[in-house]
Amino acid sequence: MSRHVHILGICGTFMGGIALLARERGFRITGSDANVYPPMSTQLEAAGIELMEGYEPGHLEPAPDLVVVGNALSRGNPAVEYLLNSTIPYTSGPQWLAEELLQGRWVMAAAGTHGKTTTASLMAWLLEQAGMAPGFLIGGVPANFGLSARAGDSDFFVVEADEYDTAFFDKRSKFIHYRPRTLCLNNLEFDHADIFPDLAAIQRQFHHLLRTVPGEGLVVHRAGDTALDDVLAQGCWTPRSSFAVETAADWRAVPVTPEGSEFDLQHGEQSVRVRWSLLGRHNLENALAAAAAAHHVGLSLEVIAEGLASFKGVKRRLELLADVEGVRVYDDFAHHPTAIETTLQGMRRAVGGARIIVLLEPRSNTMRGGQHRAALPATVAAADQVFWYQPPGLDWDLADVVSASPVDASLATDISTLAADVAAMSRPGDHIVIMSNGGFGGIHARLVTELQQRQESQA
Strand order in the sheet with 156-160: 149-150, 135-137, 156-160, 106-111, 182-185, 218-222, 240-245, 251-255, 262-267, 270-275
Same domain as 404, residue 327: yes
Widest CA span of the chain, in angstroms?
66
CATH code of 405's domain? 3.90.190.20
Per-residue pLDDT of the chain (459 residues; tens, 9 = 90+): 689 999 999 998 899 999 999 999 999 999 999 977 666 778 788 888 989 999 999 999 999 999 999 999 999 999 999 999 999 999 999 999 999 999 999 999 999 988 899 999 999 999 999 999 999 999 888 999 988 899 998 999 999 999 999 999 999 999 999 999 999 999 998 876 678 889 999 999 999 999 999 999 999 999 999 999 999 999 999 999 999 998 999 999 999 998 888 999 999 999 999 999 888 888 999 999 999 999 999 999 999 999 999 999 887 777 888 899 899 998 887 767 878 888 888 888 888 899 999 999 887 655 655 566 788 888 899 999 999 998 877 777 888 888 888 998 889 889 999 999 999 999 999 999 998 877 788 889 899 998 988 877 776
Report if residue 151 sits inside a domain.
yes
Report if residue 20 sits inside a domain.
yes
Same domain as 8, residue 127: no
- Full domain range(s) for residue 328: 319-458
375 contacts: CB under 8 Å, gap ≥ 6: 337
Separation CA 382–CA 190 (nearest Å):
23
Same domain as 128, residue 84: no
Same domain as 224, residue 200: yes
Q: How many domains does the chain have?
A: 3
Same domain as 440, residue 361: yes
Backbone angles phi, psi at 409, to 5 degrees: -140, 150
CATH code of 279's domain? 3.40.1190.10
Residue closest to 133 by CA, chosen among 104, 91, 105, 162: 105
Same domain as 361, residue 300: no
* CB-based contact 146:181 (threshold 8 Å): no
Among 256, 276, 309, give the residue marking a domain's end: 309
Give Cα 7 distance to the centre of its chain. Answer: 21
Report if residue 429 sits inside a domain.
yes
* CB-based contact 136:107 (threshold 8 Å): no
Question: What pLDDT sits at residue 441?
Answer: 83
What distances in angstroms separate CA 216 from CA 90, 106, 274, one per listed residue?
Answer: 34, 12, 30
Give Cα 93 distance to the centre of its chain. Answer: 17
Report if residue 99 sits inside a domain.
no
Same domain as 122, residue 61: no
Report if residue 227 sits inside a domain.
yes
* CB-based contact 80:279 (threshold 8 Å): no
Residue closest to 100 by CA, chosen among 183, 216, 17, 11: 17
Separation CA 230–CA 199 (nearest Å):
11
Angle between helices 199-210 and 226-233 (to 10 degrees): 50
What distances in angstroms separate CA 413 from CA 16, 154, 177, 208, 445, one per listed residue?
Answer: 30, 49, 41, 42, 17
Same domain as 301, residue 334: no
